[in-house]
Amino acid sequence: MSLSVDIRLRAGGFSLDAAFQTGDGATAILGASGAGKTLTLRSIAGLQAPVDGKILLDGVSLFNSTERVNLPVRRRNVGYLFQDYALFPHLTVAENIAFGISRRTKAQQRESVSRMVDLLRLHGLEERRPAGLSGGERQRVALGRALAPHPDLLLLDEPFSALDAPSRESLVEEFIALREAIDVPTVLVTHDVAEAYALAEHLVIMGNGRVLQSGPKAVVFHQPVSPSVARLVGVQNIFNDVRDGRPVVVGVRASNMVVGSEGEPNATLDQTVDRGVQLLGRFTTDRGVQVVAELHRSRFADLVPGSRRRVEAREGTALVWPASPGA
């Protein structure tokens, strides 16, 4: 599949200017709140009309301002998962799932619904109304509803943000399994870099209504083109430095910060932050820079605030960008 987006849009004082292309596999649009990710997604679906630009899916124009093409939503065959799922409250689970396939015969509809119920583990819930479902169940019904019509493209708006952590974990895994069963090109919007990385092959990083970087996830993840992108892909340490007499900005992941007892200590521990899955140490270097380093639990059980250690980036992992005003 190939999706090509190049649009400009204005909505309530916010201006969007986004351009990117994606290939096979899933694409994640990553960015902070208000970056314009949902607006971009809605434009692809046709729920919002850009002022200018074009959107092409597999060579078919969904939108083209110069040729005055603006395919109505219902003709785009794009499945959409809304942030709060938007399940029809007055219909049952089965009726919700069948909503987009009403033109097929009753027998075909029953078969499609039953297939979705199997795939998404919704057995026994067919006659329930959305009000009687848990968050995770609702999300699966919404997925089933969007997938039943065999869409050419599946769009998901923050699919897991409304769920608690355990549900999220299992659903991410389920989702990956689902995509093997139903091979549909997918674009999802999220502000969680871990989720983006797990679910997508391509990343599109957005900030302030613009695309900051797009490409295969490994490239974007490991070679962010600017400090802003670096922050969004989870580089926790970003600070100013001088290299070769020139001012630069340096980025180092917490996981690439090495904390050692050998060598001249150059930083003092302020506090440790234990997030269960990760143990982090916040240090202030002697040069006054605050850094975060990932610590291995076994080796640093005795670390107390005030301890002095040597903290430096692993060889070759520091990202360097030229300093520019407002970077």
Partner 1 sequence: MDWDALRISLQVAVTSTILATLVGVPFAWWLARASFPGRGVVSALVLAPMVLPPTVLGYYLLQAVGRRSAIGGLLDSVFDFSFVFDWTGAVLAAFVVSTPFLVRTAQAGFESVDSVYEEAARTLGRSEISVFLHVALPLARRSVLAGVALALARALGEFGATLMVAGNLPGRTQTMSIAIYDAMLAGRTSDARVLAITLTFVSVGLLVAIGAGASASSWRQRS
> Given the rule CB under 8 A, which residues bind partner 1?
45-47, 72-80, 82, 84, 86, 88-90, 99-100, 102-103, 145-146, 149
> Least Å distance between CB 142 and partner 1?
9
CB atoms within 10 A of CB 152: 17
CB 26 within 8 A of CB 187: yes
Closest distance between partner 1 and the C-beta of residue 71, in Å?
12
Asked if residues 30 and 233 have their Cβ atoms less than 8 Å apart, the reply is yes
Q: How far apart are CA 50 and CA 271, in angstroms?
A: 48
Q: Which is nearer to partner 1, 76 or 202 (CB)?
A: 76
CB-nearer residue toward partner 1: 48 or 284: 48
Distance (Å, rounded) from C-alpha 116 to C-alpha 79?
A: 14
CA torsion 217-153-71-15 (nearest 10°) is: -30
Whichever of 90 and 275 has its CB closer to partner 1, that residue is 90
Question: Phi and psi dihedrals of 255, rounded to 5?
Answer: -75, -15
320: left (phi over 0), alpha (psi -120 to 50) or beta: beta
Which CB, 103 or 287, lies closer to partner 1?
Answer: 103
Whole-angstrom distance, CA of residue 311 vs CA of residue 193: 25
Least Å distance, CB 11 to partner 1, is 12
The alpha helices in 243-307, defined as continuous H runs, are: none
Q: Which is nearer to partner 1, 120 or 257 (CB)?
A: 120
Please give the distance of CA 163 from its chain centroid, rounded to a whole number.
15
Burial of 143 (0-12, 13-18, 19+ CB in 10 A): buried
Q: How far is the CB of 326 from partner 1 (least distance, A)?
A: 36
For partner 1, the closer CB: 82 or 160: 82
Q: Smallest distance, Å, CB 147 to partner 1?
A: 11
Going by their DSSP bridges, the two strands 257-260 and 267-274 should be labelled as unpaired
Alpha-carbon distances, residue 105 vs 112, 154, 174, 197 (angstroms)? 11, 24, 30, 40
Q: Rounded to the nearest whole angstrom, what is the least distance from the CB of residue 45 to partner 1 in the complex?
A: 6
Minimum distance of partner 1 from residue 46's CB (angstroms): 8
CB 103 to partner 1: min, Å: 8
Residue 47 or 323 with smaller CB distance to partner 1: 47
Alpha carbon 105 to chain centroid, angstroms: 37
Cβ proximity to partner 1: between 115 and 210 the closer is 115
Residue 246 has what DSSP assignment? E
